[in-house]
Structure 1
């Protein structure tokens, strides 16, 4: 009995998780009050709450030199104005996502308190929708903000005080505005500061200001990522295996590398498809300091200095990747392998190919001329056979004299019956415009893209079974690729249009789809 009487009392455990944001029960004075004369506002909520990121989320418009003081007291919020209020002016206190409940941090989104120091309230509003320029789909939780035209501070690193966020359908509404001209933007931010300050952020804008003399609707803002204006190196290092890696923040046209000091003999240099990543292998790594110039079209972009200690050593293990899809060679393809380090020699006497466990010798491994790391493996592959490609110990030697440990690859040839043929019969209503036709996988990855200048048929053979979509980009500068926008230059991303039907390909099946590109989209 004594033992039982010592049991502690606890709150019941479990139950449904709280998913509701705090609700406003009472506002003193009432929201949308006219002839406001005081210096204090009190807002009562239905539960205990907290203010999160108060100084970045909460804004007052028009702005005040001395910001108001926000004080929480149990379930109430008290706002005290320390600055004098202008006469006959509508004020908006926008809370953004600052108000959250204590337990689960559920956010009360887009709540604002509006009052006027005069007899009338500014009542105009701007409504619209935010979509992605990548897929034209609505974007949730994008920040939409406006500046009075005379005080557009997008590039002055000043937060906008007139803003809202989009709902799940990408819709937005900014209310209680006065009649004047505004510039309007949208941001999908990496940090919630309402400042466009990162190349990783997506931005949208209207080219022309909105002359707000009446309620304005159907504004469409398309988010895009800009190509950074200034070239910058975002990463540079000497890896543990001695490879020099350089990563830039933007594509580089006709990239090249120039060594500005030292006698560098036969360097191996590889650039990514867009030229923004550079890999360098030096056969002799003896330098204390190495000065390198990054060039575009033979014009220097930046100069880097790499330093290493005299006792620095490097460890190398030879591995390779491949172009298999699900462990299978696609019909019509060769087996390609890419080593992690440039290769000097492969001893074919120490390379084995098994077909259903039977050794074969009539295969070949040949270097692909554009790379010191890529090789093509050729053989008369047969379907329904199981293959093993094996490299014995010391079969491969890299440019540094490192030999491999035994490695192998198991694979087979996929059956052509698992693939189909897709013919896209493309015609365009506007004979003058040029386009880029993209076939996208169900993961929104470009499977094939084709620039077109006239009506044509795009034939894609040996296409894997699956669901695809067709995206068409209006190639306004006729460079054969999609070009993004630029805010400072008031350039919108190139327009895109999606074919309304999904295209489903089936095994051993030929499909033809007729697509008419509309004149306007």
Structure 2
């Protein structure tokens, strides 16, 4: 018999290859299309789902690809809760084993649901398996369900990927969503719809959460939430499926906080808050004679003052749940007042030197050129607004020189200081379509509260737009409750163009005579607390966000009026 002899070196190399193969690391394959499929359960070789007469045993779940466990402590939720947390581990890269604690006793005739959340992910791309494991220790599995939608409280659009959770109603406390895991939960789809399944016959509290940190708890103040004021009672509907009203998702209102104070110069204090300080309806100075006016701008409050000396001032702020006192030392008073002059806040129109015209005089000189001012567009029936940089005290009509189409204006426009912003002048007049109005503001025409005046002649020019190039919008609204207060808004894009509060009426009508052609939106806010603005919800105060309704009229075209007849419903 012939025998083949292998060299010792070859045998050693073969053994080394086997050893390396056994110790090879699992790595993501390189190249190819990105894997977007989550792991799929091999139901044939896994512990059977939806069992009845279940007895305590290990639950083995086998998948079609390599998997990993992600944050199982927070992601895996069992309903009803167990007394002991089970052990969950990965075996042989493709298996999940859930082992109940030795002391755990499952309740008789009870349906259990194990929600795996995003705990089971594939090894390469992190795609999460959508898996619920359901079993019953009795002879049937609870089959009741509840469904509904989660919508944005402002836009009314469905919100995807929101956790909708049920908690036991018995022994309910408001703090439960921030500290305890839910009994049941579901996630909304792309349209904001959800369905809670395998519910027992019982009463529950309903809470929705845009979970920022993935722990199924409302433990971050910036997380979006929604809640139901009433109990969810499963099993009342003959179909076994409860249809629930929409949940309106909102950002919890943050307590107002004063973040910083800035004194850009003497006479102005700028207070910075963590959000718009709309509830600060009161602000006063000690001494009171130092206070001039105030203006809220986004997250800031501007306060102007003027004192007779440099003694410290006290600014007293109050409104809603907020109150604070700010000490202020008027610095730089003498320097500011010594060289202060009034300036403009708005961008002034461009000015060009016009060529000199006319005959030369005896010395060979031509008349001085009159500067050419860029002509701005102005709508008829709307005031011209001049924006200055400090609060205004007075103006002198005689130093406002007006022309219409190069001729002196026959009657002077009506000028007033804006009550909403003490830095602005409103100029009203029956402006004639197509005409060009020119204004020369002579030095000293306007004076502010600090004695500052215009130092130079300033020129403006406006062309009044023709109505044939403009549009009109006629609103006819009917409200659901005549006793309710409503805030009405007209918006274009993200800009608020007009706002008005109405109350005590069932029917309301208004005509916008001149608007630029384009797309607009009408917004109605149900102003339940009468503060003339929209209020978000507050879970801890059991307050739902105020309701809004929106209407988008057909696009406004030149020389055209659009009529909107709207029965407002929320």
For normalisation by structure 1, the TM-score amounts to 0.71
- CA deviations 1:240-270 (Å, max 9, x no partner) are 66743142656316322345xxx79724552
CA contact (8 A) 2:235 2:242 kept: no
- Between 1:150-159 and 1:373-382, the stretch displaced more is 373-382
**Match of 2:507?**
455
Indicate the SS of the match to 1:20. Answer: coil
Report the alpha carbon displacement of residue 90 of structure 1 after superposing the two structures with TM: 2.7
CA distance in 1, matches of 2:39, 2:328: 56
- Spell out, residue by residue over 1:14-38, the C-alpha distance to the aligned partner (whole angstroms, 9 max, x if none): x544433333334731222334434
Give the corresponding residue for 2:79. Answer: 61
Q: Could you say which residue in structure 2 is the equivalent of 1:4?
A: none
| Aligned-pair CA distance for 1:182 | 0.7
Please name the residue that 1:87 is paired with: 107
The structure that is strand-richer by fraction is 1
Pick aligned residue for 2:270 from 213, 219, 244? 244
For 2:471, which of 420, 443, 456 is the aligned residue? 420
For the 8 Å contact 2:435–2:464, the answer to whether it is kept is yes
User: Hey, what's the Cα distance between the residues in 1 that align with 2:421 and 2:489?
Assistant: 28
Q: CA deviation at 1:186?
A: 2.0
Which has the larger displacement, 408-417 or 250-259?
Answer: 408-417
Cα offset, 1:139, TM superposition: 1.9
* Separation (CA, whole Å) in 2 of partners of 1:343 and 1:61: 67
Question: Corresponding residue for 1:336?
Answer: 385
Q: List aligned pairs for 1:244-283, cutoff 5 A.
A: 244-247=270-273, 251-252=278-279, 254-259=281-286, 266-272=290-296, 277-281=300-304
Quick one: structure 1 residues 346 and 502, their matched pair in 2 at CA, closer, same or farther if it must change by over 3 Å? closer
Cα displacement (A) at 1:77: 3.2
TM-score normalised by length of structure 2: 0.66
Work out the CA distance in 1 between the residues paired with 2:558 and 2:220: 45
Aligned residues: 492
Matched, 1:222 2:239: no
Deviation per CA, 1:100-149: give whole Å up to 9, x if none. Answer: 445544444x5322233444322221111122332332222222111110
Change in CA separation of 1:145 and 1:371 when aligned onto 2, cut-off 3 Å? same
Pair 1:296 & 2:319 matched? yes
Gaps of 5+ in 2: 1-27, 350-375
Name 2:172's counterpart in structure 1. 152
- 2:345–2:387 contact (8 Å) kept in structure 1: yes
Shift of 1:150: 1.0
- 1:137-148 matches, within 5 Å, as 137-148=157-168
- Give the structure 1 partner of residue 141 of structure 2: 121
Do residues 78 (structure 1) and 97 (structure 2) align?
Answer: yes
Q: Kindly state the Cα deviation for residue 466 of structure 1 after the two structures are TM-superposed.
A: 2.6
User: How far apart, CA to CA, are the structure 2 residues paired with 1:400 and 1:99?
Assistant: 72
Decide whether the 8 Å contact of 1:289 with 1:305 is kept in 2.
Answer: no
Match of 1:182 in 2: 204
Quick check: which has more Rg, 1 or 2?
Answer: 2
For 1:321 and 1:72, locate their aligned partners in 2 and report how far apart those are by CA, in whole Å. 66
Once residues 400 and 105 of structure 1 are traced to their aligned partners in structure 2, the CA distance between those partners, rounded to angstroms, is: 68
Structure 1 contact 255–271 (Cα < 8 Å) conserved: no
Structure 1 position 152, deviation (Å)? 2.9
Residue 517 of structure 2 corresponds to 465
Relative distance call for 1:476 and 1:402 in structure 2 (3 A) is closer
1: CA distance, partners of 2:88 / 2:390: 60
Q: Is the 8 A contact 1:71 1:79 kept in 2?
A: yes
Preserved CA contact (<8 Å) 2:228 2:247: no
Contact 2:468–2:559 (Cα < 8 Å) also in 1: yes
Between the aligned partners of 1:415 and 1:198, the Cα distance in structure 2 is 54
Contact kept, 8 Å, 2:553 with 2:564, in 1: the verdict is: no
User: Counterparts of 1:411 and 1:191 in 2: how far apart (Å)?
Assistant: 55
Match of 1:6 in 2: none
1:355-414 deviation digits (Å, cap 9, x = unpaired): 99x9x999999753554433457897986979999999xx99996999999x99999765
Could you tell me which of 4, 16, 20 is aligned with 2:37? 20
Can you give the 5+ residue segments of structure 1 that lack an aligned partner in the other structure?
A: 1-9
Contact 1:68/1:80, CA 8 A, preserved across alignment: yes
For the residues of structure 2 that align with 1:290 and 1:218, how far apart are their CA atoms? 60
Partner residue of 2:345 out of 302, 308, 320: 320
Aligned-partner Cα distance in 2 for 1:106–1:55: 18
Cα contact 1:48–1:75 (8 A) shared by 2: yes
Change (3 A) 1:106 1:282: farther
Report SS of the residue matched to 1:220. coil
Structure-2 change in CA distance of 1:420 and 1:133 (3 Å): same
Distance across 2 between alignment mates of 1:48 and 1:339? 68
Residue deviations 1:161-212, cap 9 Å, x none? 2222211111111112211111112234555444345664443333221222
- Asked if the contact 2:225/2:252 (under 8 Å) is kept, the reply is no
- Please identify, of 463-472 and 215-224, the stretch whose mean Cα deviation from structure 2 is larger: 463-472
Partner of 1:7: none
Equivalence for 2:18: none
State the distance in 2 between where 1:508 and 1:264 align.
52
* SS at structure 1 position matched to 2:175: helix
Instruction: State the alpha-carbon separation in 2 of the partners of residues 409 and 104 from structure 1.
Output: 63
Cα distance in 2 for partners of 1:384, 1:97 equals 67
Q: Is 2:396 the partner of 1:373? A: no
Give the whole-Å Cα distance in 1 for the aligned partners of 2:294 and 2:226. 35
Contact 1:271/1:278 (<8 A) preserved: yes
SS, match of residue 519 in structure 2: strand
CA RMSD of aligned residues (A): 5.3
Between the aligned partners of 2:403 and 2:37, the Cα distance in structure 1 is 62
Secondary structure class of the residue paired with 1:417: helix
Residue range with higher mean Cα deviation, 376-385 or 180-189: 376-385
User: Aligned partners of 2:120, 2:453: CA distance in 1, in Å?
Assistant: 60
Distance 2:500 2:514 in 1: 16
